[in-house]
Amino acid sequence: MFWRSRALASLLTALLIACQPTPTPRAPAGDPPLPNFVIIDIDSMRADLLDATRDVEPIAPAIYSLAQRGVRFDQAFSQSSWTFPALASLLTGRYPPSFASMNPKTQQLADLGVTLPEVLALYGYHTAVAWGDTAPVAYPAFGRGFQRMLGGPGTGKPRASAHNLVDFLSQSPPEPFLLLVHDMDLHRPVPPPPPAVVQRHVEEQPTPRCVSLNDTFKHSRETMDEAAVRRRTIGCYHAALDSYDAEVSQVLDQLERSGLDDHTVVILVSNHGEELFEHGGLGHAELQYETVLQVPLVILDPAHPQPAVRPERVQLVDLAPTILARAGVRPPHDLVGESLLPLLGLAQGSYIERDVFGFANPAHATLRTATHKLHHRMDQGATTHQLFDLRSDPGEQTDILEQEPALAAELITRLDGFIQQRMAQGQIAPKAPGGEALERELRERGYWEMVQEQ
């Protein structure tokens, strides 16, 4: 009922959408049905997991099969290294607002503007979301435009996950629809992977209970050497993907059983990846390496039945304009993302590759060109930069800032301007208390140290 009570507010958002045609909730008689959309956002999934194997077999066979059947984007990048800014870009097609106010004492974000579900709802789409372990209690703006919550606090289904999408799809859902599931099952699986699954991926004994990557890493260090700790932690990460893959399989199977697969676009993506010791550490949060910002992106569209691999550099901000274009809806005028339909062979014109800005907070940001990556870091008021040549050093191990002063100066100027824009946007954010529960949550997810810097 909460979401329905926002009907008037949703209508008012139409005033922010430039030159929209009259909403048409259904396709005209005789025309193909409007497409449904299912977005499966798997938090912390690295791009290389699409091909990850164990004993020659894919770790995640359903996800692997989806990537083989759909259009796979091998150079897809997130706008942020942690969940909330990345979700903001995914849901709006805009750069993330500043999270300068992302502090336990001022836990709010700046206005997102018009969101993807709000626009689609105006055009007759039924919108639903399962937030998994990331129910936006502190960030209600993420719920705008979603008419139903399929799980999470207050729904009677505390295990909000892909299971809830299966339930929705099995009950003759109203069409057209937009479904989003955002699950944390690689970062912090709930419930943990079954012991039999863990045993397939973790060699060291005793077999751990893979509750979260941070906990596995911390507790293993008490009794094991560093190499064994890393193997055990990565094993738990793979076990979590193995376990979650079964849920993805159920969603895809239910689409087929329901006869919805012939007019439903399935998008598999992650809002950010995960660092697995390539630079000595574990996690994401303030880390800005390719392992964190490069994400898997697969689009399975029945209108494009031929599998393909696209090499273009695409971004999370491109998803909202792509979905709106596929639904025949003109997007809001202020989107920075571009439709990917030309790359899917479903629209005229071309897709223009752009440089990728990554923004964790004012202290951690990046600018990625086709060939180089600039890192911006601020520590106790002192700003430092690193520059990497991705052509010869894709793992970002050798800083060439001093060898390329002219290029570094150019990129620093551009990145500093981007950061200032984000900070200015964040300064208008409303403020709200956080409390001990929020502090505990941030610590468990590895974000506490990051927000303390702001």
Q: Where are the domains of the chain?
A: 34-350
CA distance 220 to 41: 29
* Element holding 359 (H helix, E strand): strand 356-361
Helices (H) and strands (E) in the chain, counts: 13, 19
Residue at token pair 């014109």: 349
> How many Cβ atoms from other residues are within 10 Å of residue 204's Cβ?
14
Between CA 26 and CA 278 the distance in angstroms is 49
Backbone angles phi, psi at 235, to 5 degrees: -60, -40
CATH label, 34-350, candidates 3.40.720.10, 3.40.50.2300, 3.40.50.40, 3.20.20.70 = 3.40.720.10
Strands 36-42 and 177-183: parallel
Q: How far apart are the first and last CA of the chain?
A: 36
Amino acid at 162: A
| N residues, the chain | 454
Per-residue pLDDT at 104: 36
Do the Cβ atoms of 35 and 260 come closer than 8 Å? Answer: no
pLDDT at position 5 is 33
| Cα four-point dihedral sign 347, 46, 183, 302 | positive
> How many angstroms separate the Cα of 44 from the Cα of each of 52, 219, 238, 275, 313?
15, 21, 12, 9, 20
Integer Cα distance of 248 and 38 in angstroms: 11
Question: Considering Cα of 346, then 305, then 116, then 296, what sign does the dihedral take?
Answer: negative
**Alpha-carbon gap, residue 428 to 450, rounded angstroms:** 21
Handedness of CA 395, 401, 407, 410 (dihedral sign): positive
Task: State residue 447's pLDDT score.
Answer: 46
- Closest to 285 in 3D by CA, of 449, 87, 96, 398: 449
User: What sign results for the dihedral spanned by CA atoms 426, 430, 431, 437?
Assistant: negative
What's the CA gap between 54 and 309, in Å, rounded?
A: 23
Q: What SS3 state is found at 289?
A: coil
pLDDT in tens, the chain (454 residues): 333 333 333 333 444 443 444 344 444 445 678 999 999 999 889 999 999 888 889 999 999 999 999 999 999 999 998 888 888 899 999 998 765 444 433 445 556 778 899 999 999 999 999 887 665 555 667 788 999 988 665 555 555 577 788 889 999 999 999 999 988 767 777 778 888 998 899 887 778 788 777 777 777 777 778 888 888 888 889 999 999 999 999 999 999 999 999 999 999 999 999 988 888 777 676 678 999 999 999 999 999 878 999 999 999 999 999 999 999 998 888 899 999 999 999 999 999 999 999 988 788 899 999 999 999 998 877 899 999 999 999 999 999 999 999 999 999 999 999 988 887 765 433 333 445 555 555 555 554 444 444 4
Q: Which of 356, 438, 112 is nearest to 452 (CA)?
A: 438
Question: What number of other Cβ atoms are within 10 A of residue 438's Cβ?
Answer: 18
Distance CA 251, CA 168 (A): 10
Identify the CA nearest to 40 among candidates 126, 130, 150, 149: 130
